Amino acid sequence: MDDGLKIISGSIYPELAEKIAQELNVELVSNESKRFANTEQYVRIGKSVRGDKVFIIQSMAERNGYNVDESVVETMLLIDAAKRASASEITVVLPYLAYGRQDRKARGREPISAAAIIRAFQSAGADRLVSIDMHTSQMQAVFNGPFDHLTAEPELQKALKKIISQNPNDQYVVVAPDAGGVKTAEDYALALGIPALHIPKVRRGDEITRDHAIEGVEGKTAIIIDDMVDTAGTLVSAAEVLQKAGTGKILVATTHGILSDPAIERLESSAIDKMIVTNSIDNKRAKEILGDRFEIVSIHGLIANAIARINDGGSVSEMFDGRNYK
């Protein structure tokens, strides 16, 4: 497959971009990326993209000597480079979209950072955005153009169904660790054919408190569902509540394993038996430390399918029967 399709990777996670390119049977276009002595970034696309549909792959995370903000700047420079090189269409694929949690004003004089980042990509020249399991899918409205919201739910549910089928005598319950995850937990419960419940939390500054009187989990395997895990404070506190309520095993399924310090340390000493994440962010270090307690599900095929449909003018929502816009 080529048809004027070009895949370009940012510096954060080129291994994922390489898998996507291989799935599409196209070459991953090389690009030069470096820093000047004063830390300013420089990029140059290594091949002509004149008249081509360009897909820039960049997970906005800390990796390979780049921090989150530097990943944003590099993405903008790649967009500008492709635009000035006469690409016919520029799509930015963001497996993980940083700043997504800053999607509203919670206090006076705060920015809506997610909106600022999305507008910056548009100003740089992006014609289309693609992301996966955004913290708030309504942020699509900020971008003046196509903004495809993919979901990793089918891949995560497939991994959970495999575990359930291997342990048919166990009883399971899906758990939402906070109010924001209730709808997602209910969707998982419906797909897996098991009940769902919600563990309320109260946040006071950096401290999270919960009601330990949770019913309906005794002796069961609890499956905690969340869109992302950052420092793992919310997740570990939920696991502690479940453990005190008498749950059997505790599983976790999440799309984005950000795992900022001290997340891995917290997970290592937690009551969580297994955590399933996608490779929207590289998590080799967590896998090395947590071993069999940590499973990585690849979403390169999902992204490649979406890119192929966009390139051919097909429907992305049909991949999910429209459930990516729920």
pLDDT digits (tens, 9 = 90+) for 5-64: 999 999 999 999 999 999 999 999 999 999 999 999 999 999 999 999 999 999 999 999
pTM, full prediction: 0.94
pLDDT digits (tens, 9 = 90+) for 162-192: 999 999 999 999 998 877 788 899 999 999 9
Question: Burial code of 186-217, b = ≥16 C-beta within 10 A, e = fewer?
Answer: bbbbebbebebbbbebeeeeeebebeeebeeb
Which CATH architecture fits 153-297? 3-Layer(aba) Sandwich (3.40)
The active-site residue, picked from 83, 201, 249, 287, is 201
Question: 201 catalytic, yes or no?
Answer: yes
5-150+300-325 and 153-297 agree in CATH topology: yes
Instruction: Please give the pLDDT value at position 180.
Output: 77
Average the pLDDT over 270-281 and give the result.
98
All structural domains of the chain with their residue ranges = 5-150+300-325, 153-297
Class of the CATH domain delimited by 5-150+300-325: alpha beta
Structure tokens at 10: 């940012």
pLDDT digits (tens, 9 = 90+) for 225-264: 999 999 999 899 999 999 999 999 999 999 999 999 999 9
pLDDT digits (tens, 9 = 90+) for 92-130: 999 999 999 999 998 999 999 999 999 999 999 999 999
Cα separation, 51 vs 5, whole angstroms = 10
* Per-residue pLDDT at 154 exceeds 70: yes
